[in-house]
Homo-oligomer: A and B are copies of this chain.
Amino acid sequence: MREVAIVGIGSTPFGRHAGTPIEQLGVRAAAEALLDAGIDRARIGAVYLGNFISGPLNGKEVLAGIVADQLGLPNVPCTKVEGACASGGIAFRHAWMAIASGQCDAALVVGVETMTHANTAQTTAALNCAMDNEHDGPSGLTFPGLFGLAWRIHAERHGTTRAQVSAVVRKNKRNGLLNPLAQMGADLSDDQIAASASICDPLQLYDCCPTSDGAAALVLVAKPLAREATGIPVDVLATVQTRGASRIAGHPDLCSFDATVSAAQRAYAMAGVTAADIDLVELHDCFSIAEIIDSEDLGLAPRGQGAIWAAEGRTAVGGQVAINPSGGLLAKGHPVGATGVGQLYEVVRQLRGTHANQVKGAEIGMTHNLGGTGVACTVSILRRSM
């Protein structure tokens, strides 16, 4: 397989873009990434677009082709991929594969979603497309229910407290304040978090990521082509896609996602690094408790200590490993199909040394994108180009 570099990045702010057609958000982010890359558009040999619920919420599909058409790209394969909340990460992996395998020399990745125009019932129904509804539907569990249960188990097993979980919320919300693309940065006190509305006990309002619109895009090239690009290149050391159980009862443990654990192990092996080498991570904190579980599953924090690590500041910018310096899903927002691509956008900015919330001396960064109840996962590891 050939080496691949990311040479162009683009993103809309995450938040409310009511009235903007979904494909226009995708085009906006992609045009920025192409401009940043500075390579001839005629070189783009594949387009992968990550999107989850544009069908149910917008009545729009074939978005990969529509976005490519509006960008004036050549006649190349344009494919939408879907794996619930991991759709963006899956799109990235496929663009990587197209180049690494020699199918093409350059590829465009777009992640896009619009959700804020829909009402709560529509959004909840659409998000639940990510569940195995035949088997888990009768339980009445939606995603807050699942992660509420996980929190209860984590607390029972490890003595995790509201205050420790609040440390994750405070960190990510404060990181979000520094990110111009973030939807809901805030400087919150423990009291404000603890006083916020109950969503699904023990989850409270600030423990949950918002509903978001947004798009992010990347231009990838075969390593030798990176010299021609104007964008500062970042190397793709690894990108891995895994599968976990599709039904909730299929998970041996609700406090860990098999798909994350296996993706991380494979990604470290592929990249030839260990968890200790990672300077920063953008991981899938759809809920505060998810960041805690993810940080353990990825091997960043010891099992059971994800919350303590956050409370001790070890996962802050300047700490042992910076987790979600972008603000994460909790503060940056979670336009589902865009999220995985947006995570890569953030890590590239960090490794270029041009992030608004810069992790000093960052050399190796990781992204973690989790879909459904853990049925799909991608982990990617990037390195500052030498």
From B1, B97, B126, B250, give the contact of A69 (CB < 8 A).
Answer: B250
Contact status of A61 and B79, CB under 8 A, knowing A101-B97, A132-B66:
no
Closest B residue to A85 using CB positions: B62
CB-defined contacts of A101 to chain B, threshold 8 Å = 1, 97, 100-103
Stretch from A7-15, A49-57, A166-174 at the B interface: A49-57
Contact status of A83 and B64, CB under 8 A, knowing A23-B134, A75-B262:
yes
* A69→B247 contact, CB < 8 A: yes
Stretch from A224-232, A274-282, A371-379 at the B interface: A371-379
Q: Does A158 contact B (CB under 8 A)?
A: no
Work out how many copies of this chain go into the complex.
2
Q: Does A165 contact B (CB under 8 A)?
A: no
* A375→B130 contact, CB < 8 A: no
Contact status of A79 and B62, CB under 8 A, knowing A69-B250, A134-B23, A243-B69:
no
- Bin chain A's interface residue count: 35 or more
A253 to B38, CA, bound (A): 33
* B262→A65 contact, CB < 8 A: no
Closest B residue to A55 using CB positions: B55
Q: Does A133 contact B (CB under 8 A)?
A: yes
CB-defined contacts of A133 to chain B, threshold 8 Å = 59-60
A126 to B57, CA, bound (A): 11
A159: min CB distance to chain B, Å: 31
Q: Does A82 contact B (CB under 8 A)?
A: yes
